[in-house]
Amino acid sequence: MPARSATAVPVAKSTDEKITINLGVVDLGQIDLLVQEGFYANRTDLIRTAIRNQLAAHAEAVKQVVARKTLVLGIQHFSAEDLRAVQAAGERLQIRVLGLASIGPDVSPELALATIDSLVVLGVLQASPAVKAALASRMR
């Protein structure tokens, strides 16, 4: 049977991820000055605003790449029930997500291997360490 893509399902967890960046002292000083002068509530507020502005500036390019690469934009969750239905249909998934891909804690490494043909996640993959290890060779 041909591989199929699953539909996105909301996940009731925070989707924020912490990142670390290195900045020069002059850039950091300018950020602190803008915060001190009331332009932003704090450093994080300025950095988030700058990132959102850059993403907005490139929104059309992102949209075109998402369409070209057939990525699900947002959150995609797979439970053991979802994957058993795929298995029962004799199908395999090609998961392609820009955002968050979540494989439920009820999914065994064996079930993941039996149902997930390939996995591309631009963002965050939430899955048990055992499932991540089992799928490592199928991640691109």
Express each pLDDT in 40-77 by its tens digit: 999 999 999 999 999 999 999 988 888 877 788 899 99
Taking the alpha carbons of 103, 108, 109, 110 in that order, is the dihedral positive or negative? negative
Residue 86 sits in the same domain as residue 109: yes
- Into how many domains does the chain fold? 2
Residue pair 10/124 in contact by the 8 Å Cβ criterion: no
Q: Is the pLDDT of residue 6 over 70?
A: no
Residue 70 lies in domain: 59-138
- Distance between CA 140 and CA 135 in Å, rounded? 10
Q: Is the pLDDT of residue 1 over 70?
A: no
Please state the rounded mean pLDDT for residues 86-112: 95
Among 57, 76, 106, residue at a domain's last position: 57
* Res 103: pLDDT: 97
- Distance between CA 51 and CA 55 in Å, rounded? 6
Residue 46 sits in the same domain as residue 29: yes
Average pLDDT, the chain: 89
Q: Is the pLDDT of residue 8 over 60?
A: no
Among 57, 72, 102, residue at a domain's last position: 57
- Distance between CA 104 and CA 1 in Å, rounded? 24
- Is 9 contained in some domain? no
Residue 80 sits in the same domain as residue 127: yes
Q: Say if pTM beats, i.e. exceeds, 0.75.
A: no
pLDDT in tens, 18-41: 899 999 999 999 999 999 999 999
Residue 45 sits in the same domain as residue 77: no
- Is 119 contained in some domain? yes
